[in-house]
Structure 1
Amino acid sequence: MSRFIAFVSGKGGVGRTSLTFNLGVAMSFFGEEIVMLDFDLVMANMDVITGLLNPEATLNDVLVRDKPIQECVYEVGQGVNVVPTGIHFETLKHINPNYISWNKIMNEIAEYGDIFLMDLPAGINSNIFEGLPQDTELIIVTNSTMPSVADSLKIRIFFKELNIKIVGFVLNMWYDDKFLLSPNEIESILEVPMVGLVPYDREMERSMALGKSVVEVNPSAPISNAIMQLAADLLGKPYNPIEPDKKGILKRLKKFVGLLE
């Protein structure tokens, strides 16, 4: 049975897309077949993050009925597929959001994976929300700033009115600062549980520059362990954090200064 998990945020710039991509790769490490869908029809960048520069067919082509969904499913790793959205504004002119059959699209793509991670556009887009599969699990992605949390609260209230199940929120790009809201304070404001805390880590920026997931580039980084733990929790599977290879680092350092040959 297919499982649908949607990621949404009240504001842009909270790391929602990069989290979706890295979480998809992390889930594939547990043996799951993953499909990531970019539902941001205007400001999509899943293609850039996954290295799919200028893909021949995108979700936009499907929506204007130029291409079948099968032509815009791209394998970006073992057990990881991506359905990107194009950035051609000329195509957008021919898309009527009121006539998008999201259920039809999801049914056609069901054969490509077990778990579908949907990167939804920031803010409130009722057309996309109302077209999500009935059993969609929704996760809010937020930072610990007051504006981000305030907009997340608006999103949470909106979802409640649509009767969409909210699993909880992920506190993304977190760092400890007395001027930011704490995890407990955010839980109290949003009235949903925190399902993951992902720290701010420059390794994410490095991995994006390399066109890979951070869990592949540096598995022992704090951010990688946090994302792997989130994947394990969502899948109900155990995970043992990967510790840095301190002995290996020490050996390379000794070799560098001439203490080892």
Structure 2
Amino acid sequence: MSKFIAIASGKGGVGRTTLTYNLGVGMSLFGRNVVMLDLDLVMANLDVITGLLNPDVTLHDVLAKNRSIDECVYEIEQGIRVIPTGIHFETLRHINPKYISWNKILEEIADYGDIFLMDMPAGINSNIFEGLPENVEMIIVTNSTMTSVADALKIRILSNELNIQIIGFVLNMWYDDGFLLSVNEIESILEVPMIGIIPYDREVERSMALGKSVAEINPSSPTSNALMQLTAHLLGEEYKPIEPDKEGILNRLKKFIGMLPD
């Protein structure tokens, strides 16, 4: 049976799309067939992050009744498929969000994967939320700022009203600062469990520039280990953190200063 996970945030800029991509790659490393679906009809970024620049057919074309959903399913790596949303506003003008059957679209792509990660638009779009399948589970993404958590609370309230099951929240791009909200404070506000803390790391920006996941760029980094630990938790798998190759680093340093032959 297919598993649908909606990745949602109340506020933009909290790293929701980047988290979706890294979770998708992580799940594929555990042997799952993953489909990442961009549901942000206006400010889509999943195509950029996954390297699908200017795809021939996008979800915009499907919703405008011009193409079939099968035409915009792209396999970017073995076990990883992406359904991108277009960035052309002229196509968007022909789409009426009130008449989109999200359930029908998700039914039509159900055979493409085991797990479907849906990158939701920031904020509250009741049409999309109400159109999610009954068995969907939701992850709320937030930062430690008061505004981010306040907007995340609005998503939690809407999800409860629509009977959407919330797995928990992910504290993304975290760094230690006494002026930010603590995990306990955020849990108290949102009244859902924290399922992962992803530290702020410039490696994320570097991996995005290279079109790779953090796990592929630096598997032993704290951020990579945190992402893979979260992935394992969602899949019910075991994950042993990868320790930095200290011996390898030492040998490279010795070679650099001439203590070891090349």
> One-letter code of the match for 1:22?
N
Residue 256 of structure 1 and its aligned partner are, at CA, apart by: 0.5
Q: Please name the residue that 1:121 is paired with.
A: 121
Q: How far has the Cα of 1:215 moved from its partner? A: 1.0
The more displaced of 155-164 and 234-243 is 155-164
Task: Map Cα deviations across residues 55-110 of structure 1 (whole Å, 9 max, x no partner).
Answer: 00001111011111111011111211000000000000000001101111101101
Show the counterpart of 2:4: 4
Aligned length: 261
Aligned to 1:202: 202
Report the Cα offset of residue 186 of structure 1: 0.3
The Cα shift of 1:160 comes to 1.0
Q: Does 1:50 align with 2:60?
A: no
1:145-156 superposed matches below 5 A: 145-156=145-156
2:224 corresponds in structure 1 to 224
Task: Please state how far the C-alpha of 1:168 moved relative to its aligned partner.
Answer: 0.8
Note the residue ranges of structure 2 that are not aligned, 5 or more in a row: none
Q: Which moved more, 1:9-18 or 1:153-162?
A: 153-162
Q: Per the alignment, in what secondary structure is the counterpart of residue 109 of structure 2?
A: helix
CA RMSD of aligned residues (A): 0.6
Could you give the per-residue CA deviations for residues 223-252 of structure 1, whole angstroms, max 9, x where no partner exists? 110010001000001000011111001001
**What amino acid does structure 2 have at the position aligned with 1:170?**
V
Write the mapping of 1:109-258 to structure 2, written as runs, cut at 5 A.
109-258=109-258
Q: Distance in 1 between matches of 2:238 and 2:209?
A: 30
Q: CA deviation at 1:159?
A: 1.2
Deviation at 1:145, TM superposition (A): 0.4
Name the SS for the 1:154 alignment partner.
helix
Match status 1:19 vs 2:1: no
Q: Secondary structure at the match of 2:219?
A: coil
Cα deviation for residue 54 of structure 1 reads: 0.3
Counterpart amino acid of residue 157 in structure 1: I
Distance 2:59 2:134 in 1: 21
Deviation per CA, 1:26-72: give whole Å up to 9, x if none: 01111100000000000001000000000000011110111111110
Matching residue's letter, 2:104:
K
Q: Distance in 1 between matches of 2:130 and 2:167?
A: 17
- The alignment partner of 2:139 has SS state of strand
The alignment status of 1:99 with 2:94, answered yes or no, reads no
Q: CA deviation at 1:158?
A: 1.3
What TM-score results when the alignment is normalised by the length of structure 1? 0.99
User: What's the TM-score, normalizing by structure 2?
Assistant: 0.99
Corresponding residue SS for 1:215: helix
2:107 & 2:156 partners in 1: Cα distance?
27
Deviation at 1:163, TM superposition (A): 1.2
Gaps of 5+ in 1: none
- CA distance in 1 between counterparts of 2:156 and 2:138 reads 10
CA distance in 2, matches of 1:161, 1:252: 56
* In structure 1, distance between residues paired with 2:175 and 2:76: 31
1:259 corresponds in structure 2 to 259
